[in-house]
Amino acid sequence: MVWYGWMDFAPSLVHESEVPLYRQLYQQFAVKIRSGELPRGERLPATRELAGLLGLNRTTVSAAYEMLEAEGLIAGQVGRGSFVTGHSVAGCPLGPGGVDWNSLLERSDMPPPRHSGGAPSGLGGEVISFEMSRPSSALFPLDEFRASCAAVLARQDLAGILQLGSPAGFEPLRRYLMEEARRQHLAGPGDDLIVTNGCQQALDLIGRVMLRPGDTVAVEDPVYPGLKNLLAGIGAQLVGIPVGAEGLDIAQLERVLERERPRFLVVTSNFQNPTGATLPLAARREMLEAARAARVPVVENDAYGDLRYEGEPLPAIKQLDENGGTVLLRSFSKVSFPGLRVGWVVGPKPFIDRLRQAKEAADLHTDQLSQAVLLEFAESGRLEAHRARVLQAGAERLAATLEACRRYLPANARWTRPQGGMNVWVRLPEPLDAGELLPRAQKEGVAYLPGRYFAVSRLEPGALRLSFAGLTPDQIRSGLAVLGRIVSGEIESASGSFEPASAMV
Amino acid sequence: MVWYGWMDFAPSLVHESEVPLYRQLYQQFAVKIRSGELPRGERLPATRELAGLLGLNRTTVSAAYEMLEAEGLIAGQVGRGSFVTGHSVAGCPLGPGGVDWNSLLERSDMPPPRHSGGAPSGLGGEVISFEMSRPSSALFPLDEFRASCAAVLARQDLAGILQLGSPAGFEPLRRYLMEEARRQHLAGPGDDLIVTNGCQQALDLIGRVMLRPGDTVAVEDPVYPGLKNLLAGIGAQLVGIPVGAEGLDIAQLERVLERERPRFLVVTSNFQNPTGATLPLAARREMLEAARAARVPVVENDAYGDLRYEGEPLPAIKQLDENGGTVLLRSFSKVSFPGLRVGWVVGPKPFIDRLRQAKEAADLHTDQLSQAVLLEFAESGRLEAHRARVLQAGAERLAATLEACRRYLPANARWTRPQGGMNVWVRLPEPLDAGELLPRAQKEGVAYLPGRYFAVSRLEPGALRLSFAGLTPDQIRSGLAVLGRIVSGEIESASGSFEPASAMV
């Protein structure tokens, strides 16, 4: 047990500190490595072992390790151990008396890096990747896209599109989206709309105008990493509301709103990332009532709402809210071309005014060429025609995923049954750890994101996300066959070699 | 003197507070208006009067008034007085127990809104606007732009361009820009490059990774409002280094670096906005030496560097810096199409790594369609051909501006003589106030931005910015003729009606 030697510098962690535990742990390791006290080549304890030793959640240790890795201080692979690689970042020339970027940057509260999502390095051949929640490039209607571009290039006001624009968005697009929102009863008389670089920037701008470091935000647990990283970067404290098959746990939500008084609540109404869960109508009403009573604004993230494969569409939370306490986030990315960064926010006018100021400070305005092209794509009816094809392909891919889960995963595995979107959430039986199985899956050409990327306060070691929209039904079946084989093999050999979790504490 | 009645609620301002004075002033007014204590229709004191009364800088009062106006609490025009318009924001329905957006948003540290820059409302006819530092739409090479789009649409990897991309940028563009930066000795072996949504987002991302609320940043004084607003939004304290005709005041810079230890220094090497000043070679070296000695990073904003109309190009600060303490910001916006939001940052690899994480949290990545189109526009040689035309037009417009200043402005007015860029900085003789003259200029169809939009710690009441690049030489001459007439008339009638400044304190 190599790691016993580490007890020499048992990190001293302050559990009530405003500095998150993962960051405290990261900082203490970083100091030891930079000082040379932990020399190059030294092996770090496995995350599970160190977590047990320190009485920490394992995600905390993993996050600290990922920050060290991002700094170039350690290197390693999940399940294979991590090693100290150096005590200063390579490639940063430091003349005498020059700027010390490392120490300057150490103060900043950046989150650990997100998984790159690309193909695993060092692997030959085709990888079946369930990692990315994005549409299939093969389905992109390139001719329709070209036709939309041609129409924009022929516009009389092309020069205006290429000129500096408005922080609120390209006005013809903004007007179109506002009319659509009114038609769908998503915008009331007191509402306004701003165009953003997709839902990610919408969330970022909301964080900028609403949050200060240390503020609390209520989010779904599990939740997609982009939101976690964004809020951690602002220095916000996240409190997770468990998401089950029926969406948010309302009783838990009420307790959190009452006790924590978060600055706002972010909730995904349809086909949540990563669980695929949709909030039922009754839960939407209860959630709204709880938020209204606590006077907590609701940020409704509905990036996936257009991708319903079965069942009746439900009214948006924004639509149900008669008290003006909800802002709605939507996007073209999931249903058309994610490489074009265009989303929007509908909400009370004074709030949108504030987002517009923040948007101007952030990047002046959203790219106007893409705004004009997507407007043409939508107004011409091409978007709706494409959506019909995407819905059919999505339904087939979802069905293939659920069928392959039934066929290849062990009987005591569990998974969600979404009615749309791009993601299925799988829970492998105990004591399996989806993060530990990942390197073996990658070796056999299959990749996914394990549960820890999505955990807020509850880590489910057996959980993993299958993002199916970018894969063909054949790829989905092949990938799940590999995964099922690895899982079954692991279960057979598991009982002997696994230490029970209680031994670690 | 209507405003004497206001002494009843003399705002109590804390000069050492972390909350800026303008914000304290704003908050105290807002409370009085929302409570109804200041009823609708009440007239506010003129900014000059209130500033004198409270011993404040007039920009402080103006900023507070602008925030009140942005909130919909007051309305008015510069020089004509401001009036209380309401005590709650119109259009924000507030059901019983609902979300109180106003009080929620009040906590956020947003800067006062920037001048819209559009044509003044309520004016008929054509306005000659010197307000916007942007290229002329009439010069946009639309056919070359269409040809670049066509080439992109014909690419084999078009689907990849439309798919989710990398936070670092569209890889072919990133590689092209990196090779160009190496060729121009702007990137060394330890450097990397990230694509951003123009220079504005580059500055925003740098602020995100480097700053916490209360940190100090050294900037030029005067400086362009986009930078002021951005840093104020983060909660940074700005300290201004005076910019003269020869660029930064180096002695003052050394004092600030020594005493204030700012987190970084933002400096414009070429054709600074708003002054048009270029930092001479010797000053670049002295500035670098001062920054190196203080171990303060330099952020070199070079958005205008491609627009030199006369004189020899100078080496970039980034090129002169042998200690890796400089990051360089560049952009396609000023030399091609500002509506396409594409800029980039070159700097030490660990710093760019951190910017990439911040970029991913902010908006995932920059729009890929525009990245691909601008790459094609540059690689095909069309950008360079367009730049030649822009340089010729810019030189003519700059010459027309300087000639019209000589011809129409009074003998004791002063203005800068830039060698490139888009802006000339004018100082009207005392006691003229460019902000007070603006409504009259607007009434006669001429608009500009007065000095207070650019002031950091030194307000020059007589200063104004003339952004000439978007106007034809004829428009420039006509606009300056109007301006000269107003200024001369004001000087003639000035001595009697102006109260000396000392009477106000």
So what's the pLDDT on residue A433? 96
A339 with B164: Cβ contact below 8 A: yes
Tokens 């993060």 -> residue: A435
Closest-CA residue to B236 (of B357, B56, B111, B354): B111
Closest partner residue to B110 (CB to CB) among A204, A230, A357 is A357
Q: Which residues contact B143 (CB under 8 A, 6 or more apart)?
A: none
Q: Chain B residues with CB inside 8 Å of A104's CB?
A: 210, 263, 297
Residues A134 and A168 reside in one and the same domain: no
d(CA A317, CA A323): 11
- Confirm if A278 and A239 have CB atoms less than 8 A apart: no
Which B-chain residues 401-460 have CB contacts (< 8 A) with chain A? none
> Which are the contacts of A167, defined by CB distance < 8 A and separation ≥ 6?
A194, A356, A357, A359, A360, A364, A365
Domain assignment of residue A121, yes or no: no
| H-helix or E-strand spanning residue A197 | none
User: Comparing C-alpha atoms, which of B308, B32, B368 is closest to residue B171?
Assistant: B368
The pLDDT value recorded for residue B16 is 61
pLDDT over 70 (residue B118): no
What's the whole-number mean pLDDT along residues B15-22?
68
**CATH code for the domain in which residue B470 is found:** 3.90.1150.10
> Is A158 within 8 Å of chain B by CB?
yes
- What does the DSSP assignment read for A46-107? PHHHHHHHHT--HHHHHHHHHHHHHTTSEEEETTTEEEE--SS-TT----TT---HHHHHHT
Confirm if B370 and A152 have CB atoms less than 8 A apart: no
Residue B112 lies inside a defined structural domain of this protein: no
Domain contains A115: no
Q: How far does A426 lie from chain B, in Å, by closest CA?
A: 24
A359 at B interface, C-beta within 8 A:
no
Please report the DSSP string for B206-222 in residue order: HHHHH--TT-EEEEEES
Q: Are residues A308 and A246 in the same domain?
A: yes
B44 or B445: whose pLDDT is higher? B445
Does A403 lie in the same domain as A360?
no
How sure is the predictor about B111, in pLDDT bands with cuts at 50, 70 and 90?
very low
Contact B337 A162 (CB under 8 A): yes
Whichever domain contains B173, its CATH number is 3.40.640.10
Residue B107 clears pLDDT 60, i.e. is over it: no
User: Which amino acid is located at B383 in the chain?
Assistant: L
Same domain, A247 and A294: yes
Is A166 inside a domain boundary?
yes
Q: Which of B142, B197, B295 sits opposite A363 (nearest CB)?
A: B197
Number of domains into which chain B is organized: 3
Q: How far is CA A249 from the centre of its chain?
A: 20
- Phi/psi for B17 (5° steps) reads -65, 155
Do A482 and A373 share a domain, yes or no? no
Pairing of strands B43-44, B74-77: unpaired
The residue among A400, A424, A401, A405 whose CA lies nearest residue A484 is A405
**B370 and B389 both lie in a single domain:** no
Tell me, what's the pLDDT at B36? 62
**Cross-chain CB nearest to A134 (options B163, B297, B366):** B163
Residue ranges of chain A with pLDDT lower than 50? 1-8, 78-79, 87-96, 107-124, 498-505
Separation of alpha carbons A53 and A283, rounded Å? 40
B92: contact with A, CB 8 A cutoff: yes
Global pTM value = 0.80
Residue whose structure tokens are 């990774």: B209
User: Is B263 in CB contact (< 8 Å) with chain A?
Assistant: yes
Task: Number of A to B CB contacts under 8 A, please give it.
Answer: 316
Measured between beta carbons, which residues in chain B are less than 8 angstroms from residue A348? 91-93, 101
Domain boundary among A334, A357, A380: A380
**CA proximity to B145, closest of B350, B484, B376:** B376
Distance between B100 CA and the closest CA of chain A, angstroms = 7
Per the structure, the complete domain to which residue A20 belongs is given by: 2-106
Same domain, A61 and A148: no
Residue B429 lies in a domain: yes
Beta pairing class for A423-427 and B216-221: unpaired
Phi, psi at A170, each rounded to 5°: -65, 120
Minimum Cα–Cα distance from B101: chain A residue: A351
Task: State which of B355, B380, B405 marks the end of a domain.
Answer: B380
At A11 the pLDDT is 67
pLDDT digits (tens, 9 = 90+) for B215-247: 999 999 999 999 999 999 888 999 999 998 778
Residue B80 has a pLDDT of 59
Taking the Cβ of residue B165 and every Cβ of chain A, the question of whether any pair is shorter than 8 Å is answered with yes
- The pLDDT, as a whole number, for residue B320 is 97
Q: ipTM of the predicted structure? A: 0.80
Q: Which residue of B has its CA nearest to A373?
A: B369
The rounded distance, in Å, linking the Cα atoms of A79 and B134 is 54
Residue B91 burial class via C-beta count within 10 angstroms: exposed 0-12, middle 13-18, buried 19 and up: middle
Same domain, A166 and A301: yes
A187/A321 same-domain check: yes
Q: What is the nearest CA distance from A470 to chain B, expressed in angstroms?
A: 11
Q: Give the integer Cα–Cα distance in Å for B336 and B374.
A: 9
In a domain, A18, yes or no: yes
Residues of A within 8 A of B354 (CB-CB) are: 105, 108, 110
> DSSP alpha helices (H): ranges in B323-381?
349-363, 368-379
In A116-236 the beta strands, taken as DSSP E runs, fall at: 128-129, 191-196, 216-221
